[in-house]
Amino acid sequence: MPTLIKKPSVIEAAGNKPKIIKEFIGRVNSETSALSIAKMESPSGWVEPGQTPDFDEYTLVLKGMIRITTKTEVIDLNEGEAIITHKGEWVQYSTPGPIGAEYIAVCLPAFSIDTVHRDE
């Protein structure tokens, strides 16, 4: 039988500015550990601590631009573009553009504060 998700849970985000995370599927909203799907609304100038997660993250930009910084490169991900960041690799997300960004993040397995391994 299908599981209907009527609305997301809003989750507090890490970073220097308030960012809205609306988790539709994941450990909080649907008690799903296999995968998480969330819509992010990130303001201009937002930056989060670097992390070395134990999950792959699939990101699709709906509006604006996200900057993905790794140990070896900086990638500006624009509207309509997507990226996969791989578990075990250090990454940092930010939205330095003038309008911030709206994007979908899918984590496999589901995002967990215990497996994101943020920098101190």
3-state secondary structure of 114: helix
- Please tell me the predicted confidence (pLDDT) of residue 35: 98
pTM: predicted TM-score of the whole model, two decimal places: 0.95
- Please tell me the predicted confidence (pLDDT) of residue 110: 98
> How many other β-carbons are positioned within 10 Å of the β-carbon of residue 66?
27
- Please tell me the predicted confidence (pLDDT) of residue 46: 98
Domains with residue ranges and CATH for the chain: 10-116 (2.60.120.10)
- Please tell me the predicted confidence (pLDDT) of residue 1: 94
> How many other β-carbons are positioned within 10 Å of the β-carbon of residue 63?
13
pLDDT digits (tens, 9 = 90+) for 10-21: 999 999 999 999
pLDDT digits (tens, 9 = 90+) for 34-90: 999 999 999 999 999 999 999 999 999 999 999 999 999 999 999 999 999 999 999
Q: What is the mean pLDDT of residues 85-106?
A: 98
The burial class, CB within 10 Å (0-12 / 13-18 / 19+), for 84 is exposed
